[in-house]
Structure 1
C-alpha cells in the first residue's frame, strides 16, 4: 500500500524559475527509498513540495489517509529554552501521544544514543552530532507512517550511524516508509530498496540498484551509476 505518492509537474520559488520538473514517484509501507543527487540538484525542493512549502508548485502530493510523517532535518532545529527532556515532553503533548510506554521508549532511545547524562541539559550546549540524535529520537517517538530524512549521517559517530540504521530497520518492520536524502552513497547502497537519482531538477534514473546498473554500469557501485547518468546529462 502506498504511503506517499508524488506527481510534481514542476515546482520552484517563483513563476519564472522552475527548480524541479517531472518528478514522479511513490513510497510503499516498509520501504526505504534513497533520494540521491549533488548539491543544488533539487532534493530539498522536492522535500518542500511534499510539505506544501513551495511558493510555486504544479502537481499533486498524496499521503495515505490519517498518516503521520516525521521530518529529520539536516540542520537540527530546537528550542533554546528547553532541555532535551522537555523537548521529549513537548513532542508527547503536541502529538497527543497517550502510549503508556512513551517515557520508557524515550529512555531506551536516550540510552541507545548515549544521551542519558544530558537528559536535563540544553541542546545549545550539545555538539552537532548530539543535536542530530535529539532530532532522530523525537521523530522515532512520534511513530510516523512516513519518515523524511535529510542527510541523517552527517555529524553522527560510527556507532550512532549503526544504531540509527538498526532503528530504521525496526521502523520498516512496523510498516513505516522512509524517504532519505543523502550524499553517503556507500551506506545508501547497502540499506535502500530503491533509488531516485536527481540532477538539475529532474529525475534522471530510478529503481533498484540492479535496474539502475542495467541502464548504466553493469555491476557498478551506486556512485559509478550516478556519475554515469550525470555525465550523460552534461
Structure 2
C-alpha cells in the first residue's frame, strides 16, 4: 500500500503553500520529491511527519490516516532531517537506546543491526561520545544509523547526501535500495537530480505548491528535452520559467 497523499492542501499559519497535491510512494519504491526552493517540498514532508495539519485532503500510510490515527501513523515512520537533531547531554549509545526504546525494539536483534550500521559509518568506537565531539558529517551519520536501524515501513530522507563524503553517499544509496528490497517505501528530497536518477523509481516535481510531473527519471528527462545525466539542468529551466512569469 505505502504512502498515499490525496488532494492535500496545507501550509503555515494560514499560508496555503500546497495546492491539492496528489502522489503515492508505493511499497518497495523510492520516490524523490524535487523542486525549487519554496516549491513546497519541506511543507509536504512536515505534513507527512505530522508537524503540520492538512487544511484539505488526506495522508494515509498503509491504510492509516494521519489525522484519525496519528500515533499509529507516526510509529511506521523513520525520518532523517536535513539538519541533524541530537541531544547535547546524551551519548551516541544513549541516543540509540532511546530511539529503539521509543519503538519498543531495544533488544539484541536490533543491536545486531545497529552494530553493523555503526561499523559501516565508522562510528563503532564512538558510543560514549557526546554530540559536542561530532563533526557535521558524523552528526549526519548518527541520524542515518538512528533511522536505518528501525527498518520502518516508510523512510523519509531530507537531502540524504548533505555533509557526507563520497563513500558515505554510496553507503546511503545502498541502504536506501536495501529498504526498498525489503518492501518499505522511501521518500527523499534532493537537489542532486542526476545522482538520484541512478537509484530512484520516480520523481515528483513540485512547482509553486502544485504537482507538475510524476514519472521515471527517463520520462522526466524526455519531458524536459534533457538527458538523464543532465537532469540537474532542470532547476535552471524552472528558475528561468519562474523569472519569466514574474
Structure 1 length-normalised TM: 0.91
CA apart distance, 1:183? 1.1
Is this contact kept in 2: 1:195–1:206, CA < 8 A? yes
Alignment of 1:6-21 (within 5 A): 6-15=5-14, 17-21=15-19
Is this contact kept in 2: 1:70–1:144, CA < 8 A? yes
Distance 2:152 2:225 in 1: 36
- C-alpha spacing 1:87/1:218, structure 2 compared with 1 (3 Å): closer
Are residue 124 (structure 1) and residue 124 (structure 2) matched? Answer: no
CA apart distance, 1:211? 2.1
Is this contact kept in 2: 1:35–1:195, CA < 8 A? yes
Unaligned runs of 5+ in 1: none
CA apart distance, 1:88? 1.1
Match of 1:53 in 2: 51
Is this contact kept in 1: 2:97–2:106, CA < 8 A? no
CA apart distance, 1:53? 2.3
Distance 2:197 2:4 in 1: 23
Q: 1:39 aligns with which of 32, 37, 48?
A: 37
Alignment of 1:137-152 (within 5 A): 137-152=145-160
Q: 1:224 aligns with which of 204, 227, 233?
A: 233
Alignment of 1:69-84 (within 5 A): 69-84=77-92
Structure 1, 6-15 or 28-37: larger mean CA deviation = 6-15
Distance 1:120 1:209 in 2: 42
Question: What RMSD, in angstroms, separates the aligned Cα atoms of the two structures?
Answer: 1.9
Unaligned runs of 5+ in 2: 64-71
Distance 1:62 1:185 in 2: 27
Distance 1:94 1:53 in 2: 18
Is this contact kept in 1: 2:25–2:31, CA < 8 A? yes
Are residue 204 (structure 1) and residue 212 (structure 2) matched? Answer: yes
Is this contact kept in 1: 2:91–2:129, CA < 8 A? yes
Deviations 1:125-184 (A, max 9, x none): 211110111111011111100011101211011111111111111111111110000112
Distance 1:99 1:119 in 2: 17
CA apart distance, 1:202? 1.7
Is this contact kept in 2: 1:35–1:197, CA < 8 A? yes
Match of 1:164 in 2: 172
CA apart distance, 1:229? 4.9
